Amino acid sequence: MEFYDIFKSSPVQKIQFRGHELFLKRDDLLHADFGGNKARKFFGFFLKDLSKYRKLVSYGGNQSNAMVSLAAFARQHNLIFEYFTKPLPIFLKINPVGNLSRALHFGMQLIENEDYTEFVSKTQDDFPIDTIFVKQGGAMPEAEVGVKLLATEIHAFAVENALTELAVVLPSGTGATAVFLQKHLKFKVFTVPNVGDSEYLKKQFTELVSNPDLHPQIWDFPNKKHQFGALYPEYYEIWQELLIDTKVEFELLYDPKTWLILSEKLADFSCPVMYIHSGGIDGNISMIKRYERFATL
């Protein structure tokens, strides 16, 4: 697959789930290595003149989808890629599976650092001019260009299909994709926090888009506190149900909670609903292994 395939629009298909019909925007099919919303979020970087840069620096979790996209991007553009993360658990050090192994394969230089959180407050100004600094998960103003393109594609789809109303649903991590999408989309965007709680997500929205009228609507479980990356049998169950009923593989970190909440809301909608598949399924390998180990305990 060519790098420039990310300039093409992603397909939309119809799916049935629990008796409801939905549109599914397949952003997971955008590109093999930059698939999903990371392709959207890093699109602005892909357009940059990179000739004056030598190095890319970022930080975050050891199975991050953003990490893989950046590693592939750095490889293609002959940039050194330094990625800071917390010290790896021993089993990963011995056998780096999933996204970690893919990113290392692309030549990523992994730097294990106990207080890598010091990066949270850093900006581009803290780095030399030959270095591009990318915030965790790509939650930064540059992400807007690519997400705006997603909004344009959804508008075009609505026109082609004579839809005057549409509810658009997607999972949130940093919230960057959801908030930039709502800023540019004329339809209502609904999203579910996966990394922090609703308060965290609202704060994230405000940091990137100050006008609250342009923020998506947040859905969450009323009482249940779910921890990002933890295993929940109901997550695996709905993921399997989706796989069987729609023949589409969804992602195991962000999609299950979003689908659990969405499935309860579907009956309330009188307008068509579109779900955005944000990609990241290469990370499933390590999650499936964890769920299998969990099931035998």
Residues that bind ligand PLP (CB under 6 A): 36-38, 65-66, 137, 139, 171-178, 251, 254, 278-280
Minimum distance, C-beta of residue 179 to ligand PLP, in the bound complex (Å): 8
* Number of neighbours of residue 243 by Cβ within 10 angstroms: 12
Q: Enumerate residues 6+ apart whose C-beta is below 8 A from 242.
A: 17, 248, 250, 255, 259
Nearest CB to ligand PLP, comparing residues 85 and 174: 174
Nearest CB to ligand PLP, comparing residues 44 and 53: 44
Q: What is the 3-state secondary structure (H, E, C) of 72-114?
A: HHHHHCCCEEEEEECCCCHHHHHCCCHHHHHHHHCCCEEEECC
Nearest CB to ligand PLP, comparing residues 36 and 96: 36
Nearest CB to ligand PLP, comparing residues 85 and 177: 177
Minimum distance, C-beta of residue 189 to ligand PLP, in the bound complex (Å): 12
Minimum distance, C-beta of residue 28 to ligand PLP, in the bound complex (Å): 8
Nearest CB to ligand PLP, comparing residues 81 and 282: 282
- Give the C-alpha separation, 268 to 218, whole Å: 16
Nearest CB to ligand PLP, comparing residues 53 and 254: 254
Minimum distance, C-beta of residue 6 to ligand PLP, in the bound complex (Å): 15
Question: How would you label 43-55 residue by residue, b for 16+ Cβ within 10 Å and e otherwise?
Answer: bbbbeeebeebeb
Minimum distance, C-beta of residue 94 to ligand PLP, in the bound complex (Å): 26
Minimum distance, C-beta of residue 254 to ligand PLP, in the bound complex (Å): 4
Task: Return the bridge partners of 59, or none.
Answer: 84
Nearest CB to ligand PLP, comparing residues 36 and 272: 36
**In sequence order, what E strands does the chain have?**
12-17, 20-26, 55-59, 80-85, 109-112, 131-134, 167-172, 188-193, 217-218, 273-277
Question: How is residue 53 annotated by DSSP?
Answer: -
Minimum distance, C-beta of residue 173 to ligand PLP, in the bound complex (Å): 3
Q: How far is CA 262 from CA 154, 168, 189, 194, 277, in A?
A: 19, 11, 12, 14, 13
